Amino acid sequence: MLLALAVWLLGPQKPERRPEVAIPGVDISLKAGWQLLFHDGCRVAVPLSWRADADGSFAAAADGSAISIREVAIANWSAHKAQMRRAVGAGKVVREDSDRRLWLERASPTAVEHYIDVPVGPAICSGLLEVRRETPLEESTVRTIVESVGPTRPAW
């Protein structure tokens, strides 16, 4: 009787959904409604609504925003970062320049481009995120995508 009264007063209990799930073997947690793509020794997380190509190297949103990832051999991380800063050119914003990530942002008339490089031994995982100006992504979505770019583990 007491239990029935509690259920009647409080209503039925809603199922609990975990907001994030830790992915074994990868140093990220995946948010509900997101997918993890793997390509060429690299990984990136994107919203489930984004459509990925068959090999996981590219995914796009309905509005045309997109990300591509690949692994690229480099000789030296510091020299690579300096070369990328020069290549992206004027008008760039350096969002991060650290031992673990280079994140450069550049605006074009139609999009905001995010260049992301993460060192992986003698290579980098490189991502290019293009966010359409007509329907810009939330800053938290951009940050989640950028921070998910990285290497896969050998176990994968």
**Can you give the pLDDT at residue 13?**
47
Q: Do the beta carbons of residue 67 and residue 57 sit within 8 Å?
A: no
pLDDT in tens, the chain (156 residues): 333 333 334 444 444 445 555 555 556 667 789 999 999 899 999 999 999 999 999 999 999 999 999 999 999 999 999 999 999 887 899 999 999 999 999 998 999 999 999 999 899 999 999 999 888 789 999 999 999 999 986 543
Question: Which helix (H) or strand (E) segment is 131 a member of?
Answer: strand 123-132
Q: Which fold has domain 33-151?
A: Protein Transport Mog1p; Chain A (3.40.1000)
Question: Where exactly are the structural domains of the chain?
Answer: 33-151
Cα–Cα dist 83/80, whole Å: 5
Q: Do the beta carbons of residue 114 and residue 133 sit within 8 Å?
A: no
Q: Is residue 137 left, alpha or beta, with left meaning phi > 0 and alpha meaning psi from -120 to 50?
A: beta
Beta bridge pairs of residue 131: 112
Handedness of CA 23, 28, 33, 35 (dihedral sign): negative
Question: Which residues have C-beta within 8 Å of that of residue 3, sequence separation ≥ 6?
Answer: none
Encoding tokens for residue 153? 């583990």
Cα–Cα dist 149/119, whole Å: 10
